[in-house]
A and B are shown apart, each in its own frame.
Chain A
Amino acid sequence: MIWEIEIQPKDSDLEKCRVNKDFHLLTPGVKVKDPITSASKGLLVSGEISGEQIQKLVTELLVDPVVESCTINKLGNLPVGEGTNDPCLATVLLKPGVMDPTALSIIQAGQDLKVPVVSVRSFRRYFGAPLASNEKDVLFRRVLANDAIEMVVEGPINQKHVAEGVPYLFKKIVVPIRDLSHEELEKLSRQMSLSLNREEMITIQEHYRKVGKDPNDIELETIAQTWSEHCSHKTLKGRVDFDGKIYNNLLKETIFEATRFLREKAGKEDWCVSVFEDNAGVIKFDENFHLCFKVETHNRPSAIEPYGGANTGIGGVIRDPMGTGLGAKPVCNTDIFCFAPPDTLASTLPDGILHPLKIMTGVVSGVRDYGNRMGIPTVNGAVCFHNRYLGNPLVFCGTAGLIPVDKAVKKPLAGDFVVAVGGRTGRDGIHGATFSSAELNSDSEKVSGGAVQIGNAIEEKKVLDAVLKARDLGLYNSITDCGAGGFSSAVGEMGEHLGASIQLDQAPLKYAGLSYTEIWISESQERMILSVPKENLAKLKEVCKWEGVEAVELGVFENTGRLKLFYQGSEVGDIDLDFLHNGRPKQVRKAAWKTPTESSSNPSAPANQNLGETLLKLLSSLNICSKEWIIRQYDHEVQGGSVIKPLVGILEEGPSDASVVMPVLGATKGFAVGCGLLPDYGDLDPYAMAACAIDEAVRNVVAVGADPSRIAILDNFCWGNTDRPEVLGSLVMAAEACKDFAIAYQMPFISGKDSLKNEFHAKGKSIVIPPTLLISAIGIVQDVRQCVTMDMKKAGNKLFLVGRLTENIGGSQYAKVLQLTGGVVPKPDAKEAIDIHKAMHRAITALTVRSCHDVSEGGLAVTVAEMAFAGGIGADIHGLNTLGNIPFASMLFAEPPTCYVVEVEPQKVEQFQAIFKGLPVHEIGTTCVEKRLRFVGPTGEWVLWTSLEDLRKAWLSTLKF
Chain B
Amino acid sequence: MASPKVFILRAPGSNCDMETHFAFEKAGARPERIHILQLRENPSLLKQFQILVIPGGFTYGDDVAAGKILASQLTHFLQSELRAFRDSEKLILGVCNGFQVLLKAGLILQPDQDGPVATLAHNTSGKFETRWVHLEVRPDNCPFLAGISSLFVPTAHGEGRFVSREEWMLDGLEKSGRVVLRYVNPQGKLDGFPHNPNGSQGNIAGLCDPSGRVLGLMPHPERHVLPTQHPSWTRNGLQKEGEGFAIFKNAVKYFE
Contact = CB atoms under 8 A, between A and B. Distances in A.
A548 B64 contact: no
B130 interface: yes
B189 interface: no
Contact of B64 (A12, A102, A465): A102
Interface stretch (A243-251, A296-304, A642-650, A673-681): A642-650
Contacts of A372: 58, 128, 156
B118 interface: yes
B223 A12 contact: no
A14 B62 CA distance: 18
B192 interface: no
Interface string B56-82: 111011111100110011011100000
A666 B65 contact: no
Interface residues of A, number: 67
A785 interface: yes
Interface in B141-164: 154, 156, 163-164
B13 A461 contact: yes
Nearest to B22: A665
B122 A14 contact: yes
A123 interface: no
B15 A652 contact: no
Contacts of A639: 15, 18-19
Interface string B158-197: 0000011100000000000000000000000000000000
B130 A66 contact: no
A65 to B, nearest CB: 5
Contacts of B238: 785
A113 B76 CA distance: 8
Contact of A793 (B19, B62, B68, B235): B235
B37 A546 contact: yes
A66 B58 contact: no
A789 B58 CA distance: 32
Nearest to A18: B126
Contacts of B222: 640
B226 interface: yes
A102 B61 contact: yes
Contacts of A776: none
Contacts of B62: 373
Given A105-B69, A634-B130, A665-B19, A65 B235 contact: no
A109 B156 contact: no
Q: Which residue of B61, B118, B126, B234 has the most chain A CB atoms within 10 A of its CB atom?
A: B234
Interface stretch (A56-64, A275-283, A694-702): A56-64
A158 B127 CA distance: 33
Contacts of B68: 61, 64
Given A66-B119, A635-B156, A456 B61 contact: yes
A642 B10 CA distance: 23
Interface in B73-98: 73, 75-77
Contacts of A102: 61, 63-64
A575 interface: no
B178 to A, nearest CB: 17
A894 to B, nearest CB: 29
B223 A640 contact: yes
Given A458-B61, A638-B15, A643-B228, A652 B223 contact: no
Contact of A637 (B10, B35, B75, B223): B223
Contact of B121 (A66, A662, A784): A66
B124 interface: yes
Contact of A60 (B72, B122, B130, B229): B72
A636 interface: yes
B186 to A, nearest CB: 10
A263 to B, nearest CB: 33
**Closest A-B pairs by Cβ, 5 of them:** A375-B15, A640-B19, A105-B63, A458-B61, A66-B119
Given A109-B60, A644-B234, 7 more contacts: A14-B122, A102-B64, A109-B69, A458-B58, A632-B129, A633-B129, A635-B156
9 contacts: A109-B64, A372-B156, A457-B58, A633-B130, A637-B220, A637-B223, A638-B15, A649-B235, A851-B234
Interface of A: 11-12, 14, 17-18, 59-62, 64-67, 101-102, 104-106, 108-109, 112-113, 368, 372-375, 456-458, 461-462, 465, 546-548, 631-640, 642-645, 647-650, 652, 662, 665-666, 784-785, 787-789, 791, 793, 851, 871
